[in-house]
Structure 1
Amino acid sequence: MAVQVWDYLPEYRNERADILDAVETVFESGQLVLGKSVAGFEQEFAGYHGMPYCASVDNGTNAIRLALLALGVGAGDEVITVSNTAAPTVVAIDGIGAVTRFVDVRAADFLMDTEQVAAAITPRTKAIVAVHLYGQCVDLAPLERLAADHGLVLLEDCAQAHGARGRGRIAGSVGDAAAFSFYPTKVLGGYGDGGAVLTRSSEVDAAVRRLRYYGMGEVYYVEQTPGFNSRLDEVQAEILRRKLGRLDEYIAGRRRVARRYAEGLAAVTGEGGLLLPRPAPGNDHVYYVYVVRHPERDRILERLRARGIRLNISYPWPVHTMAGFAHLDCAKGSLPVTERLAGEIFSLPMYPSLPGHVQDQVIEELIAVLNEV
């Protein structure tokens, strides 16, 4: 059987009884939409982050979109973010009629180069979206200062950073709001789509709750537009509620997998060899994905496929190079670090229930291929 970068079945087999009980709990509750499971998960997820408010939504893309709208960002406003992210980050910005402006990233950790943000601010800039990528946090301190100085809102995109910390602060607890995804592959993933918005503002929380429910404050009465049907499903909420209690365990498992890679691949790393992920200063990495670099990436992946190991690239195309975002007028070559990384990065299998013998196989085959190229 081919080795994949992610597989939910080992986890499901371990947690099957609890997952099925969660489904049964919802079906027996008598309420299938915006019931006790959604309310309970929102309260507990907010509590995990030390935040007063959490509004759940149907997916991570809409978490970003509704958060930006609730923060007052709209058509024609400029939003500063990065291009080496999953396309949904920019799809959400584009979807409200705002204009994305990109800054480059740092080669050492793939995170936003915060030193470039000030120069990207214009009179039309309204927001900064800080993407906590691959499992670790952007340094938010300089972005907080810029946001305060220029009257901007700061949104954390935490889709890949559940439980990560930067300089002691947990991802999602710093900005004006934070957007999360609970897509199945995530550090905290459901068995379908899901998302949430954390905030310290009761007004932002109330706005997200209206936006997710057609713009309604009361049933059948629309208070504002636009409005959407963006509610988290009760079944997913109950599953996430159960899994939230195991989130720290999942993170510990991912860190064990990361340590095993670091130890097993030590002989082929370094200058001119394989570059392994490094936590940025002050960061506690949760390893949503384990992204490595090598200048011969494409040859390596081709040879690994021939050996039955199918790895992933997160992400092969920077957003600004995609045809669907040509209207953003960000020329190829304008983000040199982002573009160089896109040609060198690839992801090794990473999930807490990754069997040890499978990881050992990946390490052995990768070392063999690296010795060939």
Structure 2
Amino acid sequence: MTIRFVDLQAETRFLRAQMLRAWEATLDDATFVGGQAVHIFEEHFAQYCGVPYAVGCGNGTDAIELALRALSLPAGTKVITSALTFVATVEAIELAGYTPILVDCDVNTYLLNIDQVLASWDNLVTVVIPVHLFGRPVDLGQLVSEVHRRGGYVIEDACQAHGATVKSMRTGALADIGCFSFFPSKNLGAYGDGGAVVTQNSLWYERIRRLGNHGVNTQKYDHRIVGRNSRLDALQARILTVKLSFLEEWNERRRRYADLYRAGLHHLSDVILPPDDPPHIRSVYHVFPIRVPASLRNALQQFLNNVGIETNIHYPRPIHLLPAFRHLGYAAGSFPVAETVTEQFLSLPMHPFLTETQIEFICENITAFMRRKRP
């Protein structure tokens, strides 16, 4: 038995007929970049998120960069985000020309530590980018109010949290602007790269659309600002429109599988499980990371691999310990929670096409290994 970490082959088998129709419609229409298919997806995705505006773009990294550039911030602006995130969050800040300021994560949820955000604020900080990490949304109510009071903005990095909710509001509608990735392994994934920016602000919407299309205003070759090429193509838009209709069902499966993992592993004292959601939060479990003693993590991963269970590590190192971001000046020990949990994380298979039998097999093997505690 091989249990895939993400089983895109199972997904494409399930969707094959609809995807072939999407491909044929794209060939028949022969509009490959932009066009009606993209507009339809943007409308559907905006409606799903609960906002009036969505703009498709090239990928999630571009989405964050475009959102930042749409705010027209002054040079020297600082942007606060988490030390525990995928590298793209911080890449986008630098690509937009701003300075990343990192804070530690919460030891229980692994999300942005809001107290540290407010403690790090100075007169050059204008934006906070909370990351809805692993599919668990940050409860942004108080943070958004306080950031607005200080004259700043909040941009959601929702690249791992399509459909997650706080008080029945979906990610993308929780702050000023929401940014999404449609990388194939995401809860809502394309069959290539893709992304989107969503907002309730019409001015930012228009600016994001222009920025992603070479600064074009309303007429071709009428370039009003310096933009870039970051557009969603028609085939990916059609694929995403099909898959959007399954997203709620697939997210519900992920929640059920998370419960099964908890039931199968809660008895292991050396395994720390992701916390249950409080009543007002609904996570979508893009990733299901457990924590085990750092001395056992790599051996457990190899043990599971030997019995056919694929796993991953999200993430091996926090942002400030990556060579690409040494110039930010954070030394080892700057963010002790992020540094500790990245040595302990092991992400288990999580996708809509798992079976209960597979999850039982995974839990049985983790239990067998942990009872032996083989280093």
Q: TM-score range by the shorter chain?
A: over 0.9
The alignment partner of 2:25 has SS state of helix
Q: In the TM superposition, what are the counterparts of 1:23-62 in structure 2 within 5 Å? A: 23-62=23-62
1:224 aligns to 2:218 (yes or no)? no
Q: Is the 8 A contact 2:310 2:349 kept in 1?
A: no
Query: Tell me, which stretches of 5 or more residues in structure 2 are unaligned?
Result: none
1:32 and 1:301 map into 2 onto residues whose CA distance is 42
Deviation at 1:81, TM superposition (A): 0.4
Q: Is the 8 A contact 1:279 1:285 kept in 2?
A: no
1:278 aligns to 2:275 (yes or no)? yes
The alignment partner of 1:134 has SS state of helix
Q: Percent identity?
A: 38
The alignment partner of 1:309 has SS state of coil
1:211 and 1:201 map into 2 onto residues whose CA distance is 15
Q: In the TM superposition, what are the counterparts of 1:77-88 in structure 2 within 5 Å? A: 77-88=77-88
The match for 2:72 is 72
Task: Supply the AA of the counterpart residue of 1:148.
Answer: H
The alignment partner of 1:131 has SS state of coil
1:52 and 1:180 map into 2 onto residues whose CA distance is 16
Q: Which range is displaced more, 214-223 or 343-352?
A: 214-223
2:30 and 2:310 map into 1 onto residues whose CA distance is 44
Q: Is the 8 A contact 2:258 2:288 kept in 1?
A: yes
1:118 aligns to 2:118 (yes or no)? yes
Deviation at 1:333, TM superposition (A): 0.5
Q: Which range is displaced more, 95-104 or 74-83?
A: 74-83
Q: Which range is displaced more, 159-168 or 256-265?
A: 256-265
2:116 and 2:80 map into 1 onto residues whose CA distance is 10
Q: Is the 8 A contact 2:310 2:348 kept in 1?
A: no
2:333 and 2:152 map into 1 onto residues whose CA distance is 28
Deviation at 1:136, TM superposition (A): 1.1
Q: Which range is displaced more, 44-53 or 26-35?
A: 26-35
The alignment partner of 2:102 has SS state of strand
Deviation at 1:267, TM superposition (A): 2.6
1:291 aligns to 2:289 (yes or no)? yes
The alignment partner of 1:231 has SS state of coil
Superposition CA RMSD, Å: 1.4
Q: Is the 8 A contact 2:63 2:179 kept in 1?
A: yes
Give the TM-score, by structure 2 length: 0.95
Task: Supply the AA of the counterpart residue of 2:351.
Answer: Y
1:142 aligns to 2:130 (yes or no)? no
2:61 and 2:73 map into 1 onto residues whose CA distance is 15
Residue deviations 1:132-183, cap 9 Å, x none?
A: 0111111202211221121111100000111101233211102111100011
Task: Supply the AA of the counterpart residue of 2:271.
Answer: L
2:276 and 2:53 map into 1 onto residues whose CA distance is 29
Deviation at 1:360, TM superposition (A): 2.7
Deviation at 1:222, TM superposition (A): 1.2
The alignment partner of 2:130 has SS state of strand
Q: Which range is displaced more, 22-31 or 229-238?
A: 22-31
Deviation at 1:2, TM superposition (A): 4.3
Task: Supply the AA of the counterpart residue of 2:254.
Answer: R
1:22 aligns to 2:22 (yes or no)? yes
Q: In the TM superposition, what are the counterparts of 1:65-214 in structure 2 within 5 Å? A: 65-73=65-73, 75-214=75-214
2:358 and 2:76 map into 1 onto residues whose CA distance is 49
1:90 and 1:73 map into 2 onto residues whose CA distance is 17
2:128 and 2:138 map into 1 onto residues whose CA distance is 12
1:136 and 1:2 map into 2 onto residues whose CA distance is 27
| Count of residue correspondences | 369
Task: Supply the AA of the counterpart residue of 1:221.
Answer: D
Task: Supply the AA of the counterpart residue of 1:214.
Answer: H
Give the TM-score, by structure 1 length: 0.96
The match for 1:244 is 244
2:62 and 2:253 map into 1 onto residues whose CA distance is 29
2:287 and 2:142 map into 1 onto residues whose CA distance is 26
Q: Is the 8 A contact 2:81 2:103 kept in 1?
A: yes
Deviation at 1:280, TM superposition (A): 4.5
1:307 aligns to 2:346 (yes or no)? no
